[in-house]
Structure 1
Amino acid sequence: MRKKLFIIFFILVCIAALLLPFFSKYEKPASEKDIASHGLPPIPTLAPRTEIPNFDKFNDVREKKKEFFRYLLPVIEAENLRILHERQQLLAIESAFSRGFENEQDKKQLARLVDYYEVDPTLDSAEQFELLKRRVDIIPTMMVLVQAANESAWGMSRFAQEGLNLFGQWCYREGCGLVPEQRPEGMNHEVAKFDHVAQSVRSYMRNINTHDPYLELRQIRQVMRQRDEQVRAIPLLSGLHSYSERGQDYIDELKAMIRVNRPIVDAIIEQEDAATSEAAAASN
């Protein structure tokens, strides 16, 4: 009798184990703190940077570069971390949808990403996820730094100083920015103005991540992700042919800038990491 009861109990346990996944309730991470538990730190809150320093006051070229990179680096890292949080959310929502778990919060978040990253809302969810995974991703720090340096004359161009525009981004509504002094007759574009530097960086990243001329760049990055490789600056530069009228010459110049300036940036990051470690040790 006991043997029969044990067999029945064993069968019931097996059935319960098989059915459990179908009755489990999926709960999506509800906040950035929850997402951070997946390995991402929280997004830092930076004071708005509403003016760009006069980097020409540094007579030493290397010192000028170092201060420019040191000024811009925290903004770039914060924006890339924000994108990584969005990507983590996107992958979590896709995973939930694939298992049949959908809720209103996920749908609203997906709709927000579709809107911000300019994905056609009439596409089915599978196509939306495919496009979003290509678009919701970081821009390598070195690529952002050297483009900012190149486009803004190391932060000293008129558009950088007056409009906080570090990347030469245009706008097309009258009064939206600064009118170029050498604007050809018949053209109506302006160089966009921003309220703070983070806006300029965020707008640039959205531009790279959404506009058709940079599809090749996003495809290169997607292949890196599929191969589980680090997203690196040099390979992505090949997708910037449309960023400048100079085409390949512009890309070659950026590559040279990365090779020359990477040691400076690496030294800054190493110093900041050491300072953070010291502060953590002191607090303990």
Structure 2
Amino acid sequence: MRIVFSSLLILLLFTSFLIGFFLPVSYKVTLSDSSHYTFNGKLPDFSTYTDVKQKKEDFFAFLLPRVKHANDNILRERRQVFELQSSLPNLTSNETKVLLKLKEKYEVDLTNHNDIIDELIIRVDIIPASLALAQAANESAWGTSRFAEEGNNLFGQWCYVEGCGIIPNQRTDSKRHEVAKFDSILDSIESYMRNLNSQYSYKKLRTLRAQARADEDIITGLNLANGLWSYSIRREAYVDEIQLMIKQNELHQYNRDTTTLR
């Protein structure tokens, strides 16, 4: 009996080894999402990692479900926009309230309902995960920057009201900006996406995305990165760096098929 049990145990261990060995790496990384982190958990201490490869994998594994959540919320708003469009020109009182709320959130400076909706269709859309992950890694030094650790700020976003964030050590006396502080990593991601979707500086990014929609192409970070000239004073060098990070880390695998919702 003992011999039979030992044989079964050896067979089970060998089978487990084979399954683990032949599973794709990306799948094994995905499995770690739920076991390592809770959705509302704090940013892990990435400064303690000595294995660079594992650090990168865990950084992406931690952020990916939050990026997906933020994009899912945007897609729900996008559906609302198309529903409003189908109700024109006779919007109900409640529909008008929804329209004005979206107009304010995405900083649309128009008054005609048709024009507002046309602009919202361009602005209310996803930021591909490949781009969000690459920028988060770049701007936060893989989650180890002071602003990431103290303020959940992964994207270097600024604010201009005294006390709104963290004062940079290198800020001169003539400057008044602070680096924004967020209650959670998800808040930081949502603010970053709203920034790209609303600020005039990123109009080119939105135009590239709208063109991809029109061509029924997948929206990619490599393409949209060309609209990030104003994100850094390094301009073209910054765009090149983000695109290189996407390629080197094979982040294109996280782009989702978004040919629906026009």
Task: Give the secondary-structure state (helix, strand or coil) at the position aligned to 1:242.
Answer: helix
CA 1:47–1:257 in structure 2 vs 1: closer, same or farther (change >3 Å)?
closer
1:53-64, aligned counterparts within 5 Å?
53-64=44-55
Q: Which amino acid aligns with 1:192?
A: A
Hey, which bits of structure 1, 4+ residues long, moved more than 3 A?
A: none
RMSD in angstroms over aligned alpha carbons? Answer: 1.7
| Partner in structure 1 of residue 63 of structure 2 | 72
The worse-fitting range, judged by mean Cα deviation, of 150-159 and 107-116 is 107-116
Q: Distance in 1 between matches of 2:181 and 2:40?
A: 15
Decide which structure has the larger Cα Rg and report it. Answer: 1
Match of 2:120 among 129, 132, 140: 132
Aligned pairs for 1:91-110 (under 5 A) are 91-97=82-88, 100-110=89-99
Counterpart amino acid of residue 64 in structure 1:
K
8 A Cα contact 2:157 2:180, kept in partner: yes
Match of 2:73 in 1: 82
- Among 202, 216, 230, which residue is 1:242 paired with? 230
CA distance in 1, matches of 2:166, 2:148: 11
Aligned residue number for residue 8 of structure 1: none
Letter of the 2:119 counterpart = L
Where in structure 2 are the equivalents of 1:222-241 lying within 5 Å?
A: 222-241=210-229
Matched, 1:48 2:40: yes
Q: 1:1-284, aligned counterparts within 5 Å?
A: 47-49=39-41, 51-97=42-88, 100-120=89-109, 122-262=110-250, 266=253
- Structure 2 counterpart of 1:109, which letter? V
TM-score (norm 2): 0.80
Query: Using the alignment, how far apart are the partners of 2:176 and 2:148 within structure 1?
Result: 20
Per the alignment, residue 28 of structure 1 pairs with none
Structure 1 residue 94, shift from structure 2 partner: 0.2
Q: Distance in 2 between matches of 1:137 and 1:218?
A: 9
- Quick one: distance in 2 between partners of 1:215 and 1:164? 26
- The CA distance in 1 between the partners of 2:94 and 2:244, in whole Å, is 46
Shift in Å at residue 184 of structure 1? 2.2
SS class of match (1:191): strand
Gaps of 5+ in 1: 1-45, 270-284
- Structure 1 residue matching 2:231: 3-state secondary structure: coil
| Residue in structure 2 matched with residue 43 of structure 1 by the alignment | none
Aligned-partner residue type, residue 47 of structure 2: D
Partner AA of 1:220 in structure 2: L
Distance in 2, matches of 1:173 and 1:201, equals: 20
> Which TM-score applies when normalising by structure 1?
0.74
Stretches of structure 2 that go unaligned for 5 or more consecutive residues are: 1-37, 257-262
- 1:67-101 Cα offsets, whole Å, 9 max, x none, are 0000111110000000001001111110121xx54
Q: 2: distance between equivalents of 1:187 and 1:108?
A: 38
Q: Partners of 1:144 and 1:189 in 2: how far apart? A: 23
Q: Distance between the aligned counterparts of 2:118 and 2:97, measured in 1?
A: 18
